[in-house]
Structures are given as structure tokens and as C-alpha cells.
């Protein structure tokens, strides 16, 4: 065959990694058969043989030999005299087989076919990418940062496919520059304007779950199950785990010796605090564990409205709420209950640590009171105004404001 543009293009097409050979041959054959139909009116009596390895193409056309003057359809029949110009031994009733060359179609038809071929192959390539990633949703993928924009980041995978990571799917502390390697989970795959759009995420709970599966063999093997994950990306996460083997401590297995297993996950998540807790069907116990590291004294459940009233010692309240309120918010998401925190108030010797008042009293004032041995609210209230003025460097007006705040706590 003549080495025309159409043939040259075979070598380009076979480089498409996402299209299997049978599909490629089928597409090429369809294009050539379309050319045959335009030229001869039919392709039923034609054989198209495509070799995608070396770019060889063969087209063979078969027509029935009829007596001279009796041909009714030149596309399906050939007269004996014309056939014998090629082979003098042919007879009426024999089949006349000839090879069709690309040159016979004309340059314009070949260029049009090449354009159609490119279009169909690119379309197939996009469909294959879409199907491939659609089946991989929830998997971790490693890519290279190609470009960073304000609202999203473009990542390239090992095969050169483009992946998008929106800003909302990045951990707040993430900072990327071109060429960096990044791990994320495939979140969703969409087809927009015939182009596959692959969204990856580092904030989805599935990302943390896959990291645990990679670091903890017992989870990968199915001996430990992750029941639920809730996250505040970059801040805190809570993971409820359950063991199917009584000999395995699920929390200990996930954390590892001296935190060896969980440290790698924490680093990947930009120092996100991860609480791993034992799952249980006992809701009260589950809520207590979810509020870790705070120690709960008592819980009252309203199962109908999915609310829980949690009572704690004063010094445990700030631990239960957590910095920015993340601990109590995530505990609520993990258990499915709206959690209300209350200080225990039925004990006569109830006291409140001065650090509990940092939102009302400036820290330097609290430090001044601590310097004279007053660490709690009642230890300050036990002293008179004169004693406080004499023993501290605080103004009388400042002390009065502090006493008003502390007294209001016990009213």
C-alpha cells in the first residue's frame, strides 16, 4: 500500500493506551467501509483487513462474473471481457477478486477519512478514560501537580490524564507548586461537553479511610472494619472502628506501636488530629467515647429527637467542646446525636478552673491571679477585695470586674 497520510496515522492511534486493539480495528474498519459505500454504493462484497501493529491495510472487493452485456449492477457484477483483462482463465459464474488501493479513492476522500478517524479515536479515548475512572471512584491516586490556580489545581496522572482538585477539596494547610507529587482520592467523574472531568479530593472521608487501609494490614484484610469517619479537614477527625477478632484491639492496631501507623497518616493530612475509638451499639457509651479526650460523668438521651445531654466536671467542658468547637461537632456527626454539654452543678464543692474564663477575662489577668496561688474561681472569691489589691498588681476596678464574672458563674 502507498504510504499516505491515513496509513501514517495508524502509528499515532496505536499509542492510545486506553483503547484496546479489537476496538481500534473496529473503528478503522468502520471508516474504510464508509469510504467504500460512498464510492461503490455498498461494502457488502468488500473485505477490510487492518493491521494496527505496522499500519498495513488491505481492501479486497469481490464481484460475480456475468456474460458480456448482462451486468445489472457494476458494483456487484463484472462482465466476462473486463474480467479476462486481468485473468484470461476466468469464466462466467466465477468470482472476480481485486485489491482496492487508497489512491483510487482520491486525495480529498482520504483527508476527510483521516479527519473522521482522528475524531472517532479521540472520542473513544475520552469514553475509555471516563469508564476507567468511573470504576475507580473511591480509590487513592498519585499524581503530579501541573498547574495551580486560585480555585483549583490541575494534576496529571502517570498516563498523562488530567485530574482536577478544587480548592474546596484541598486541606487548608495544603501548599502545592508545579512538579510536586500529591495523593488524593477519586471523588467523582463527570462527562461535560463530551470531555471527562475527574475530580479528586484530599478532604473526603474516603481519603482518610484509604490511608488507614494502606497503613493498617488488619483493615485491608477485613479483620478490622471502619464503621464511620467524620472530618474537619486539617483540624480533627474521628474514626470509629470495630474488630471481628476478639484477640485484636482495633484502636491499638490502628494507632500502632508508639503511634507508628497513625503518624504517617497525620503527616499526610497536614497534622490533622485523629481520634480512633471503639465502635459500640450502646449509644451512651458511644457518645462518651466520641467525646474523647473529655471524661463524661453522666448522659441523658432523648432518642426520639436524637439529642443527648452530657454532664461533665467543669474542667472537662473545654476538652469536650475542643478548639473551635470541633470535638463536640464531630462527636455529634459520628453518633448522629445533637450533643448538649452541661457542667455538673449538684456538688457543693464544685469549682471552675480560671482557664475556663479566657473568653471573658484577659490571659495576663489570669496569670497574675495564678501567681498568687489562685488557680480556680472559688480560690479567688475566697479572698477579699483588699487582699487581692494588696497581693496583686491589679487595679481595684479590674478586680471588681473579675469578681463580678466569677460570682455570676455560681449564681
Residue 384's Cα: distance from chain center in Å? 61
In the block, which residue shows the cell 482518610?
Answer: 208
Instruction: Enumerate residues 6+ apart whose C-beta is below 8 A from 410.
Output: 350, 377, 381
Question: What span, in angstroms and rounded, lies between the C-alpha atoms of 233 and 204?
Answer: 8
What integer pLDDT is reported at residue 122 of this predicted model?
Answer: 82
Q: Quick one: 15 and 119 in the same domain? A: yes
- Residue 269 sits in a domain of what CATH number? 3.30.300.20
**In the numeric block, which cell numbers belong to residue 368?**
497574675
- Residue 193 sits in a domain of what CATH number? 2.40.50.140
What integer pLDDT is reported at residue 25 of this predicted model?
Answer: 76
CB 377 within 8 A of CB 351: yes
Q: Quick one: 113 and 13 in the same domain? A: yes
Of the residues 333, 348, 363, the one at which a domain ends: 348
**In the numeric block, which cell numbers belong to residue 279?**
465502635
CB 224 within 8 A of CB 216: yes
CB 203 within 8 A of CB 170: yes
What integer pLDDT is reported at residue 4 of this predicted model?
Answer: 45
Q: How far is CA 361 from CA 321, 375, 395, 401, 406, in A?
A: 19, 13, 14, 9, 10
- Residue 89 sits in a domain of what CATH number? 3.30.1480
Instruction: Enumerate residues 6+ apart whose C-beta is below 8 A from 272.
Output: 171, 231, 233, 234, 235, 236, 237, 266
Of the residues 124, 152, 171, the one at which a domain ends: 124
The one-character DSSP state at 15 is T
The pairing of beta strand 95-100 with beta strand 56-66: antiparallel
Question: What span, in angstroms and rounded, lies between the C-alpha atoms of 232 and 118?
Answer: 46
Q: Quick one: 115 and 12 in the same domain? A: yes
Q: Is 358 exposed, middle or buried (0-12, 13-18, 19+ CB in 10 A)?
A: exposed
Per-residue pLDDT of the chain (411 residues; tens, 9 = 90+): 343 445 555 555 555 556 667 777 787 888 888 888 888 888 888 888 877 566 577 888 898 988 888 878 777 888 888 888 888 888 888 889 888 887 788 888 878 878 887 788 788 888 888 999 999 999 999 999 999 999 999 999 998 899 999 999 999 999 999 999 999 999 999 999 889 999 999 999 999 999 999 999 999 999 999 999 999 999 999 999 999 988 999 999 999 998 999 999 999 999 999 999 999 999 999 999 999 889 998 999 999 999 999 998 888 888 888 888 899 999 999 999 999 988 775 544 567 888 888 888 888 998 888 888 788 888 888 888 888 888 888 888 999 998 988 888 876
Q: Quick one: 23 and 104 in the same domain? A: yes
Q: What pTM was estimated for this model as a whole?
A: 0.66
Angle between helices 21-40 and 5-13 (to 10 degrees): 160
Q: Quick one: 344 and 240 in the same domain? A: no
Query: Does 129 fall in a domain?
Result: no
What range defines the domain where residue 394 resides?
Answer: 354-410
Query: Does 387 fall in a domain?
Result: yes
- Nearest alpha carbon to residue 400 among 258, 185, 386, 140: 386
CB 19 within 8 A of CB 125: yes
What integer pLDDT is reported at residue 5 of this predicted model?
Answer: 46
What integer pLDDT is reported at residue 262 of this predicted model?
Answer: 95
What integer pLDDT is reported at residue 107 of this predicted model?
Answer: 82
Query: Does 207 fall in a domain?
Result: no
Amino acid at each position: 500500500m502507498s504510504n499516505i497520510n491515513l496509513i501514517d496515522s495508524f502509528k499515532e492511534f496505536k499509542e492510545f493506551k486506553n483503547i484496546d486493539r479489537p476496538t481500534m480495528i473496529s473503528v478503522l474498519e468502520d471508516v474504510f467501509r464508509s469510504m467504500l459505500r460512498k464510492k461503490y454504493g455498498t461494502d457488502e462484497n468488500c473485505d477490510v483487513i487492518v493491521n494496527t501493529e505496522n499500519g498495513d491495510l488491505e481492501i479486497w472487493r469481490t464481484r460475480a462474473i456475468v456474460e458480456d452485456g448482462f451486468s445489472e449492477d457494476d458494483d456487484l457484477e463484472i462482465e466476462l471481457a473486463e474480467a479476462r483483462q486481468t485473468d484470461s482463465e476466468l469464466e462466467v459464474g466465477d468470482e472476480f477478486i481485486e485489491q482496492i488501493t487508497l489512491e483510487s479513492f482520491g486525495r480529498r476522500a482520504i483527508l476527510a477519512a483521516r479527519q473522521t478517524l482522528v475524531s472517532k479515536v479521540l472520542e473513544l479515548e475520552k469514553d475509555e478514560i471516563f469508564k476507567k475512572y468511573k470504576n475507580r471512584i473511591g480509590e487513592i491516586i498519585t499524581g503530579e501537580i501541573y498547574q495551580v490556580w486560585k480555585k483549583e489545581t490541575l494534576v496529571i496522572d502517570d498516563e498523562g490524564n488530567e485530574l482536577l482538585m478544587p480548592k474546596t477539596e484541598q486541606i487548608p494547610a495544603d501548599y502545592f507548586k508545579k512538579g510536586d507529587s500529591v495523593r488524593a482520592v477519586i471523588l467523582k467523574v463527570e462527562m461535560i461537553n463530551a470531555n471527562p472531568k475527574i475530580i479528586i479530593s484530599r478532604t473526603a472521608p474516603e481519603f482518610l479511610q484509604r490511608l488507614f487501609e494502606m497503613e493498617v494490614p488488619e483493615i485491608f484484610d477485613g479483620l478490622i472494619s471502619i464503621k464511620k469517619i467524620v472530618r474537619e479537614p486539617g483540624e480533627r477527625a474521628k474514626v470509629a472502628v470495630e474488630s471481628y477478632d476478639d484477640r485484636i484491639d482495633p484502636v491499638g492496631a490502628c494507632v500502632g506501636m508508639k503511634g507508628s501507623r497513625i503518624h504517617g497518616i497525620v503527616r499526610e493530612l497536614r497534622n490533622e488530629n485523629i481520634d480512633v475509638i471503639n465502635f459500640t451499639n450502646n449509644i451512651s457509651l458511644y457518645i462518651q467515647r466520641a467525646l474523647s479526650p473529655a471524661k463524661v460523668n453522666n448522659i441523658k438521651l432523648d432518642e426520639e429527637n436524637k439529642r443527648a445531654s452530657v454532664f461533665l466536671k467543669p474542667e472537662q467542658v473545654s476538652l469536650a467542646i475542643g478548639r473551635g468547637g470541633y470535638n463536640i461537632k464531630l462527636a455529634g456527626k459520628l453518633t448522629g446525636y445533637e450533643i448538649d454539654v452541661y457542667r455538673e452543678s449538684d456538688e457543693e464543692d464544685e469549682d471552675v478552673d480560671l482557664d475556663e474564663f479566657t473568653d471573658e477575662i484577659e490571659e495576663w489577668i489570669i496569670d497574675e491571679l495564678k501567681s498568687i496561688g489562685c488557680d480556680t474561681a472559688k480560690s479567688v472569691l475566697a479572698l477579699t477585695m483588699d487582699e487581692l489589691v494588696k497581693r496583686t498588681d491589679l487595679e481595684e476596678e479590674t478586680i471588681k470586674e473579675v469578681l463580678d464574672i466569677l460570682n455570676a458563674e455560681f449564681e
